[in-house]
A and B are shown apart, each in its own frame.
Chain A
């Protein structure tokens, strides 16, 4: 059972460690930067052009947000402890949901960005755990859960753009958009890799999702909300045409994934065939090759659209994020595809040349796009 008790247990641990690690590293970096810059912070003034890229607008704001975040953490631990002392009447993910709802209320009422980011990620974790519980109870394909996570991530991007109706809410909008982009990119990265394809095959084992009424209704509701949000945002001109089409396309790909029957993605490995250079991995079947191609094309398309959207919206952070993810994608693909069957020296020389060329073109393209943005905004100012 893939999503068993141990999985839930480790998921909780990994999540807790990751969140805290990121926070601790972030605090250390902030403290170092604070000293390096002599107490000054770039774009700290709320009137400045990129004010929304700051996680806090003053030291009071930073400390206040940190303590609200701590309060949420302690609230979660208090609820977990009470639950355990009472003999665990609730599942751990139900308590996570309650904490995240409290986090969302705090985030919107007190304008706490840290709580918003934590709660959004927590809600996704809650959904995965809750849906896997429904799926394992009836031996249902977990591919549908994967699809809903991708839809939720895309929904986060759209909700982020909807927040841009209020200029004062731009920081929250950026959090939604950045998290949505990262989660979507992460899913596609994973599925386009060798390991991801093998996991994809195991996700397709079992009965179709419509054998569970809970999953069917959830899928329908999430997809409907996503569709409505895209149409509404496009109607309000908060979403460009290209962005709406990309989101629709990615959503449809995951809808197909949710309806896929059981598939064989890889042939069984012949361990006696020593001439094989597959590195212990069976070759792709026709269906496997098709889906590998789909996921890779979608990943590339998604990342390019992030950069394109950044250009359309005049958002430098989005262009930089897209460029960084594209760079990581090429890096991962190179290792994924060539490491096992190229001579190591050729592999590293090839990697060096590849990175240099990509880096050169990315810097050149990024510079041109940002120059366009600067010249366009200076024309507007004139």
Chain B
């Protein structure tokens, strides 16, 4: 497989085609990104650490920081005026913020071909979504264990990661899931000597979180090359 790709790359380079064009051609020919990258690896300009990649990375870091700063600014503005807003307005603000940021992220990524800026906004969207869960719980005084919010957050971000093919969101959802796992023992088993048979955490949420996490692990595993799958 790799030899075939290398031959096609050499043939493309010999005709003077740009590397990006060869890459796109190989993708449409049905080769996997991983295999193409591996075949391209010995060719320095597209390899890791190349000037274009460094530039892309810098852009990525800058737009991510920018998105987070904008988010913090909006959060602080809303927080300062929070007590003057009624419940309906609060929910509308939260939902609108989630919707707008994610739509803008999708637009930048898919329509304007600005993947780094789009990814940064998806990260911001996932943070607003998480904050929204806790704010809604606070507005309506929902009686739940706090790690449940993190489970809902993880599930939502995982779905978004699959829908938008945003790999970075899987990392965020993973960290959020870990916080839920750390938190649960503290709230479920906070009194070991009395039997409190009523747990606030809904069982279906726990089962759903288990299924979503296992399903995500399984689906991402399917993307690993057959060669790599054999390594334990």
Question: Taking beta carbons and an 8 Å cutoff, which residues of A are in contact with B?
Answer: 5-6, 8-9, 12-13, 16-17, 20, 23-24, 27, 31, 35, 38-40, 46, 51, 57-61, 63-68, 70-71, 73-75, 77-78, 80-82, 84-88, 108, 110-113, 168-169, 171-172
Contacts and interface: CB of A to CB of B under 8 A. Distances in A.
B181 A171 contact: no
Given A63-B170, A73-B181, A85-B197, A78 B228 contact: no
Interface string B89-118: 000000000000000000000000000000
B174 A77 contact: no
Interface in B205-230: 206-207, 209-211, 213-214, 216-218, 220-221, 223-224, 227-230
B217 A64 contact: yes
B207 to A, nearest CB: 6
Contact of A111 (B198, B203, B207, B229): B229
Given A64-B220, A67-B217, A171-B231, A74 B209 contact: yes
A9 B189 CA distance: 9
Top 8 nearest A-B pairs (CB, nearest first) are: A67-B217, A71-B214, A71-B213, A68-B217, A73-B181, A74-B210, A111-B232, A70-B213
Most buried by A among B206, B210, B217: B217
B206 A70 contact: no
A103 to B, nearest CB: 12
B217 A17 contact: no
A38 B220 contact: no
If over half of B's interface residues share one DSSP class (helix, strand or loop), that class is named, otherwise mixed; here it is: helix
A57 B228 contact: yes
Given A38-B48, A60-B220, A81 B188 contact: yes
Q: Interface residues of B toward A: which range?
A: 35 or more
A73 B195 CA distance: 23
Most buried by A among B193, B198, B214, B230: B214
A145 B177 CA distance: 35
A74 B197 contact: no
Contact of A70 (B49, B167, B178): B178
10 contacts: A5-B192, A8-B192, A63-B171, A67-B170, A67-B177, A70-B174, A74-B177, A75-B210, A80-B185, A110-B217
B201 interface: yes
Contacts of B170: 63, 67
A171 B206 contact: no
Contacts of B231: 46, 51, 57, 111, 168, 171
A46 B216 contact: no
Contact of A39 (B57, B171, B203, B229): B57
B54 interface: yes
A132 to B, nearest CB: 16
Given A17-B182, A59-B167, A61-B224, A77 B217 contact: no
A150 B54 CA distance: 50
Contacts of B223: 60
B203 A81 contact: yes
B203 A58 contact: no
A61 B228 contact: yes
B199 interface: yes
Given A16-B182, A58-B224, 15 more contacts: A9-B189, A27-B178, A39-B53, A64-B220, A66-B174, A68-B218, A70-B174, A71-B211, A74-B151, A84-B189, A84-B199, A108-B232, A111-B229, A111-B232, A168-B230
